Structure 1
Amino acid sequence: MALEERKTLAWHETLEIHELVAAQSTGLIKLKKSVKEINDSELQRIYQQAIGDIELNLNELIQFYASTPSVSEREELEREDSGFYAGELLIFSKTLVRTYAGAITETATSVLRKTLTKQLLRAIHCHERIFNYMYKKGLYPAYDLEALLNQDLQNATKALKMK
């Protein structure tokens, strides 16, 4: 069977989609909360365009959830604010880890490299703490792909419905 004829996404594709939907859902909620506070009309238009772009991205990506492995429909549940804020910190800490790792590879100065490495380790520990918190509270079902993907759909739906 040709690759484009497959009806089920591969696991690695599914996990990449999960990362994209999770990050953009959190970002969309944050943008929609923030846009109301912006007084500069040009910046507000830029925010509105970003909101529209992310809504389009989410609508396109969530269509692929029907093709993910072992996904069944679940009843939507209201997420606690702590879940949103924890997810926001998880994404932020993950971004910091990636950014520091990239910066370290570009560093020629020894003392700067040591400083960035120390800060990278702090970012890794922050990621570990927030992940453990989310896992313990049932906010990040890391070992249950079906629950993880259903959580993404809930968050994306919430973000898309938000005014």
Structure 2
Amino acid sequence: MSSKEKKKTLAWHETLEIHELTAFQANHLMGFKMMLPEVADPALKTLYSHTIAALEHNLKDLLGFYPLAPSYTRKAGQEDLTAFQAGHLLGFWKNAVRSYANSITEAATPQVRETMRKHLNAAIEMHAKAFNFMLERGLYPAYDLPKLLENDVKTAQKAIAL
């Protein structure tokens, strides 16, 4: 394909990155919207509102790529709160693993490094438990890319509409 020809589909790896960004932002958007009424500080409430608007914009942009994903199909459906809650938990542990892995590279004190290593291993275990919870209940179809992307679209649309 020449560089001037338009691609018919996205590459698999970029599709998966878009999935990760969409799932991460949609789950956090729902959480920020649920917490917004409870934020008392006016400046923090403004930051939450700006974050919500930015995430809605991001999700709308990302959803525009879904029709270009390989083997993508559209289907109607609903997700329940369990899927959001489990996805939020999974996203937390995934980011905890990343944060601890990065922090270990900054640890100069052996005791700090050992504590971070223990926390990292615990975060890896918790991530696996959250992942398996979702996989076993059909909430995270990790081995079915079209269904995974379909779930992203539903979750992002639900987060935007919340």
Residue 62 of structure 2 aligns with which residue? 61
- 1:142–1:158: structure 2 CA closer, same or farther, 3 Å change rule? same
Q: Who is 2:144 aligned against?
A: 144
Match of 2:11 in 1: 10
1:118-133 pair list within 5 angstroms: 118-133=118-133
- Computed over aligned residues only, the root mean square deviation of the Cα atoms, in angstroms, reads 1.2
Match status 1:37 vs 2:35: no
Using the TM superposition, give the Cα deviation of residue 4 of structure 1 relative to its aligned residue in structure 2, in angstroms. Answer: 7.2
Task: Return the alpha-carbon distance in structure 2 between the equivalents of residues 38 and 107 of structure 1.
Answer: 34
Kindly tell me: are residues 67 and 39 of structure 1, through their superposed partners in 2, closer, same or farther at Cα, counting changes over 3 Å?
same
Q: Which amino acid aligns with 1:22?
A: A
Deviation of 1:39 after TM superposition, in Å, equals 2.2
Aligned residue for 1:8, secondary structure, equals coil
Instruction: Give the Cα–Cα distance (whole angstroms) in 1 for the partners of residues 116 and 42 of structure 2.
Output: 38
Provide the rounded CA distance (Å) in 2 between the counterparts of 1:21 and 1:101: 23
Q: After the TM superposition, which parts of structure 1 deviate over 6 Å for at least 4 consecutive aligned residues? A: none
Amino acid at match of 2:36: V
User: What residue number does 2:153 align with?
Assistant: 153
What's the TM-score, normalizing by structure 2? 0.96
Residue 111 of structure 1: CA displacement? 1.8
What TM-score do the two structures reach when normalised by structure 1?
A: 0.95
Consecutive unaligned residues of structure 1, counting only runs of 5 or more, are none
Percentage identity across paired residues of the two chains = 45
Name the structure 2 match of 1:100. 100
The corresponding residue for 1:109 is 109
| Deviation, structure 1 residue 41 | 1.9
**Corresponding residue for 2:75?**
74
Residue 25 of structure 1 aligns with which residue?
Answer: 26
Shift of 1:114: 1.3
Count of aligned pairs: 161
> Unaligned regions of 5+ residues in structure 2, if any?
none
1:86-138 per-residue CA deviation (whole Å, 9 max, x = no partner) reads 10010000000000000011112112111111110000000000101100000
